[in-house]
Amino acid sequence: MTNTTGKIFSITSFGSSHGKAIGAVIDGCPANLELSEKNIQKELDRRRPGTSSITSPRKEKDKIQILSGIFEGKTDGTPITGVVFNEDKRSKDYSYLKNTPRPGHGDYTWIEKYGNYDYNGGGRGSGRVTIGHVIGGAIAKKLLEQFGIKVISHVVQVGDIKAKTVNMNLIEEKASENPVHCADPNAAKEMEELILEYKNKGDSIGGIVETIAINVPAGLGEPIFGKLDGELAKALMEIGSVKGVEIGFGFDVANSTASQINDEYYIKDNNSDNNINNINIGTTTNTSGGILGGISNGMPIVTRIAVKPTPSISMLQNTIDLKNCEETKIEIKGRHDPCICPRVTVVSESAVAIVLADQMIRSGFINPSNLSQNID
């Protein structure tokens, strides 16, 4: 199994839903970044279950402990290990899952591949492992912040309810004001009602999460393999439940012409010296989502992911009893999210931030060893 992602700034994730702990080792973060457990805890709290009526009621404090990598309040260039010990496990709930894979979950493929499967709460297949992503994302975001880069996520669709476009500068604030994390307050209200409706039915509903990165410099990514959009697509598709990834105009390009969507260049800002390196170039539209030919162009990077409805539902479903080799039915007990999109927002931010942090170093914008060499 491979549990590491990132070429220079990398995350090695470990742990399972009902084991001792979940965590991640973040390697390749340059020294001299101020970092504390608070910076990470703040992000973990956004992912935590039990915070509203539309998330799973599992009670977990998800308290972070940093075991290594920080010296006198700053990163020292060594690997940063963040660990969350599991508390509210209730593993007795899960024994009936041992031989009957849940439809829509990874149980069956896991058993098929590894043989020995920790079925408690989905084991390492649980959404709970995204704690590792969020630890990594929190550090990546702190690093990107030093260079003015901001990564923000919001829910733009739940079922058939679509949010209206919101000014980019308001998204973060507006999305934080409701449990759905949708920046359009009217849509947010409708989405919440829809989610509760499915919750009451014992069913769940999908949606779309948009993630935007602003102030990303032109020049991240590579033109053939290692494209910035390729790395983002991988990182976003690796979030459990994601079945589609779009950059910029996404699938709408299929029914567009080049004359409609080619982003034309203009001079945003021309300093008096007429030196091309000091001229700020922009595009009048941003259908490319900030990436052209695999490389960022300085415009906001815009990604969207299609998130499927949580497969854990209380309705009776057909499956196989792998022990007795016969078809059977399953009713999944336990505590589920009727729509996982709100909790996915911070995970999507993390995925994007990790890719960007890695690319900022790989592309020579951040010194790989020592942050003060950038600043001084």
List the binding residues. Answer: 47, 124-126, 293, 308-312, 335
Q: Does 95 bind a second copy (CB under 8 A)?
A: no
CB atoms within 10 A of CB 223: 11
Binding mask 205-244 for a second copy (x = CB under 8 A): xxxx---------xx--xxxxxx-xxxxxxxxxx-x-xxx
* Residues whose CB falls within 8 Å of the CB of residue 18, separated by 6 or more in sequence, listed in order: 86, 89, 91, 94, 118, 120, 121, 123
Q: Which amino acid is at 296?
A: S
Contact call for residues 61 and 54 (beta carbons, < 8 A)? no
Subset of 27-56 contacting a second copy (CB under 8 A): 27-28, 31-32
Q: Kindly tell me which residue out of 41, 56, 153, 319 binds a second copy, with binding defined by CB under 8 A.
A: 319
Q: Kindly tell me which residue out of 35, 307, 346, 356 binds a second copy, with binding defined by CB under 8 A.
A: 307
Tokens 């993630």 correspond to 211
Distance from C-alpha of 21 to C-alpha of 61, rounded to nearest angstrom: 13
Closer residue to a second copy, CB minimum distance, 299 or 346: 299
Tokens of 83: 């660990």
Q: Does 258 bind a second copy (CB under 8 A)?
A: yes
Give the range of 43-51, 107-115, 137-145, 177-185 binding a second copy by CB under 8 A.
Answer: 107-115
Q: Does 63 bind a second copy (CB under 8 A)?
A: no
The site that binds a second copy (CB under 8 A) totals a number of residues, namely 159
Binding-site annotation, residues for NADP(+): 47
Q: Kindly tell me which residue out of 160, 167, 200, 269 binds a second copy, with binding defined by CB under 8 A.
A: 160
Binding-site annotation, residues for FMN: 124-126, 293, 308-312, 335
Q: Does 21 bind a second copy (CB under 8 A)?
A: yes
DSSP state of 370: B
Subset of 115-134 contacting a second copy (CB under 8 A): 115-118, 123-125, 129, 132
Distance from C-alpha of 48 to C-alpha of 62, rounded to nearest angstrom: 7
* Of the candidates 187, 111, 220, 215, the residue with the CA atom closest to the CA atom of residue 341: 187
CA distances (Å), origin 182, targets 128, 153, 164:
22, 9, 10
Q: Does 269 bind a second copy (CB under 8 A)?
A: no
* Residues whose CB falls within 8 Å of the CB of residue 99, separated by 6 or more in sequence, listed in order: 321, 322, 323, 324
Give the range of 55-63, 139-147, 167-175, 362-370 binding a second copy by CB under 8 A.
Answer: 362-370
Contact call for residues 158 and 195 (beta carbons, < 8 A)? yes
Q: Kindly tell me which residue out of 81, 211, 345, 350 binds a second copy, with binding defined by CB under 8 A.
A: 81
Closer residue to a second copy, CB minimum distance, 170 or 315: 315
